[in-house]
Structure 1
Amino acid sequence: MAFNELTDADLWLQVKQDNGPAFKALFDRYWERLYVYAANRLKSDADAKDVVQEVLINLWARRTRLTIETTVAAYLHTAVQYEVLTHFSRAAKNAGRSQEYEQNILPELISYMEPLHLRELQALAEMEITRLPEKMQQVYRLRQEKNLSVKEIARLLNISEQTVRNQLNTSYQKLRKHLKEAILLAIFLHGN
């Protein structure tokens, strides 16, 4: 049987029946495009290979229980997107890669988003700002929205400059954590 002549759906039926050569044909058909997608997002060949291998290993392991509702191509693409997000989540928790994630990867991911999704994120950001303690929120807004200096904020609120810096640092940390998670979720839900 020439597996390269079968449709994805027919190959998948063969895979579900434990046909190893059919799985290899599916693997060969999708490996490169899934790898390129992951490598473009992860900026690492090794990480991209790991992600794609993890998806394909899971596909084989779950073959008898898995029902693909869309197309095989769409399923694999979504599975790789999810695994990329999982990788980002692990990387963000790793202090050594957190800075790389924030400076290099996250801005590029945001650039893939449509304007509608960016507006949704802006609304989410505003909601997170309103959750900050009142004084911290006030300091944050004076800095970000009014573009006041630390010295000006301290004078206006009659607090020390160090208190202003502390409030800003704490607010940035809180917002960064919540918004990174939201951005990843938005990319996953609305991604290509």
Structure 2
Amino acid sequence: MRSSEHTDSDLWLQVQQDDGLAFKSLFERYWEKLYVYALNRLKSETDAQDVVQDVMINLWSRRATISIETSLAAYLHAAVQYEVLANVSKASKTAGRKQELEKTILPGFVSFLDPVQLKELQAIVEAEVARLPGKMQQVYRLRQEKDLSVKEISRLLDISEQTVRNQLNASYHKLRKHLREAMLTAIFIQHL
């Protein structure tokens, strides 16, 4: 039987049994669709290639432990969406790309969510920010909502710049965990 005649489930079972040819078939079946999706959101061929390669490498390296509850197509699509988000998050920390992200990439990402999901995510973000400890929340809001620099926050709150950085890093870490779960839920619901 040719690989094009195998179902995704058949190929996935073979991949879980360390079948490299089955993995190659899945890779070839999904590479272009996933790449086009990532490219449309990231607007960079290199970044899109990296995202899809990371997802596929992760799929192979974790083949024995991954449990796919949906279809393989939905799983891969969600994994690429998550990697796109991670890529956007990393890029947003690069000062030169912040404006590019706001104008080109983020509207495209947000457009895949329906208004109810977007509102729910915004509510989750606000609830998680409100749960941060007092000083950490204050530092986070000054940085994100008022767009103040670390130096400006340090002066305003009369704390060291290192304390501001520590508070920001801790707040990002706490928020990232909860938002990752919310985003994956939104992505999976979108593709059921």
TM-score, normalised to structure 1's length?
0.66
Alignment correspondent of 1:173? 147
Shift, 1:94, TM fit: 1.3
Letter in 1 for 2:43: K
Shift, 1:190, TM fit: 2.1
1:36 maps to 2:72? no
Task: Please show how residues 50-69 of structure 1 align to structure 2 within 5 Å.
Answer: 50-69=50-69
Letter in 2 for 1:81: Q
Alignment correspondent of 1:190? 186
CA RMSD of aligned residues (A): 3.3
Task: Please show how residues 31-180 of structure 1 align to structure 2 within 5 Å.
Answer: 31-120=31-120, 123=123, 171-173=145-147
Shift, 1:29, TM fit: 0.7
User: In 2 relative to 1, CA 3–93 (structure 1 residues): closer, same or farther, beyond 3 Å?
Assistant: same
Letter in 2 for 1:190: A
TM-score, normalised to structure 2's length?
0.66
Letter in 1 for 2:186: H
Separation (CA, whole Å) in 2 of partners of 1:115 and 1:171: 22
Summarize deviations over 1:35-88 as a string: whole Å, max 9, x none: 111111111111111100110011111112222222111111111111111101
Separation (CA, whole Å) in 1 of partners of 2:37 and 2:14: 26
**Are the equivalent residues in 1 in contact too, given 2:125–2:179 (CA < 8 A)?**
no
Q: Taking every aligned residue pair, what percent have the same amino acid on both sides?
A: 54
Separation (CA, whole Å) in 1 of partners of 2:184 and 2:144: 28
Q: Which has the larger radius of gyration?
A: 1
